[in-house]
Amino acid sequence: MYYSILGLLLLILIQNTQAQTTNLPKFNAKKLTYKGEKHLRNVKQLTFGGDNAEAYFSFNNQLLTYQAKVPAWHVECDQIYLLDWRTQKASATQIPQLISTGNGRTTCSYFLPGDTTILYASTHLADTNCPPVPLPRADHKYVWPIYESFDIFTADLKGNIKQQLTQTPGYDAEATVSPKGDKIVFTSIRSGDLELWTMNIDGSNLQQVTSDLGYDGGAFFSPDGSQLIFRASRPKTDTEIATYKQLLQEGLVMPTHMALYICNVDGSNLRQLTQLPNASWAPFFHPSGKKVIFASNYKSKRGLPFNLYMINTDGTDLKQITFDSMFDAFPMFSSDGKKLIFSSNRNNNGSSETNLFIADWVE
C-alpha cells in the first residue's frame, strides 16, 4: 500500500506518450461524479489539497484513518491523520488530528478492534527525517521504494505510541486487520522476498502466507476473515526475474505489472483473480464477500487513467465503477456496505492533488 501519488502521476506522464485530450469523460462538478458512475450517489469531498489516500473506516464506520502530505501543513512526507467523515473536512487551514509521530515517513494505517487504537508503518526509529526518494532512473521506469526502516506500530487516537509490533530488520509494512479482530496481515521481506505474513493482534504467532517469487502486498481480509485479497507481481522470464531481484537489492519494486490474487488466510487455495494487462491493485472485498472492488489502468495505453472496477471472486462479471480521466484508487467499503471511500484526482482544477471522497454505495 505504500505509494506516492504525485510521483506516480508525474512519472507516468513523463514515461508515456503525450496525453490524449479528446473523448474525456464528462464530469458533473455539482455531483462530483463522471457520467456512468451509477453506483455512486451523494458524493462528498472530504479533503482539499495535497496528497490524501489510503483512508480506512473504523470498525463502527464513524471515523477514518488515512495518510496525507499537505504542503500547507509543512509536513515533508506522508503522515497519518484521523478524520470524522460525518462532521470534519481537511484543508489548508483545517488540520485533522495527527496520529503518527510527525517524524520519518508513514504508511498503511488501520483501526484495531474497539476503535481506540490504530496501527501504521513508520520509518521514524531509523531517522526523524523523511527517507530519500529514489532518483529518476535512466530507463525511466516507475519504481516504489521499499524502505528497510519501515516497522509497524500501534498508537492511540492522540498519537501516543502503544507498541512496536515488528522488530525484524528489513521492510515490514502494509498491515491491515481482520474484521474478526483477531489477526493482522502485512508484507515483510524477512524471508528474503516480499511475502505476506499474519500475526495476532499483539504481534505474536507469526505465520508466512505466500512464498512465490514476486512482490505480494496490499492485502485485505474477507468480511468473514477467512480469505485474503492482495496484489502481486509474478516475474516469469529470466529477464523479469533478474530485474526483480536486482531492484529488490536496491530496495525497490516496479509496480507497473500487477494482478490480484486470493487465498485462504493460511495461504492455501491460492489463485489468480485477474488476468488483465498493466496494473491491478488496491483491492477490497465487497461486504457480501462475493465481489472485489479494485483499481486498474488495464484499459490505458499511456499509464493513465486508473479507475475502480468490480469483479466476482470467481473471476466473472468484470465491470467498471468509476470513469475518471486521471486517477481513482484505494477503495474501501464501510462494513455495512452503505458507504464507499476512495481517493481521486477529480475536482482538483487540473492540478496533481489527490483527495478523499465518500459516497453512498448503490448496488
Cell 464477500 belongs to 289
Residue 303 lies inside a defined structural domain of this protein: yes
Q: In this structure, are residues 39 and 93 in contact, taking their beta carbons and an 8 Å threshold?
A: no
**Domain-located, residue 277:** yes
134 secondary structure, DSSP code: P
Given a contact cutoff of 8 angstroms between Cβ atoms, the answer to whether 180 and 196 are in contact is no
Give the three cell numbers for residue 150. 519501515
In a domain, 25, yes or no: no
Question: Whole-model pTM?
Answer: 0.94
255: domain CATH number?
A: 2.120.10.30
Q: Is residue 159 part of a domain?
A: yes
Q: How many independent structural domains does the chain possess?
A: 1
> What DSSP letter does each residue of 21-36 carry, written as one string?
-SSPPPEETTTTEETT
Q: Does some domain include residue 29?
A: no
Question: CB-hemisphere CA count at 13 Å for 227?
Answer: 22
What pLDDT tens digit does each residue of the chain (363 aa) get? 555 544 544 444 434 433 444 467 899 999 999 999 999 999 999 999 999 999 999 999 999 999 999 999 998 899 999 999 999 999 999 999 999 999 999 999 999 999 999 999 999 999 999 999 988 888 888 899 999 999 999 999 999 999 999 999 999 999 999 999 999 999 999 999 999 999 999 999 999 999 999 999 999 999 999 999 999 999 999 999 999 999 999 999 999 899 999 999 999 999 999 999 999 999 999 999 999 999 999 999 878 899 999 999 999 999 999 999 999 999 999 999 999 999 999 999 999 999 999 999 999
The residue with cell 492533488 is 353
Among residues 97, 194, 106, which one has the least CA distance to residue 154? 106
State which residues form the domain around 335.
5-13+53-361
Is the separation of the CB atoms in 130 and 145 below 8 Å? no
Amino acid at 111: F
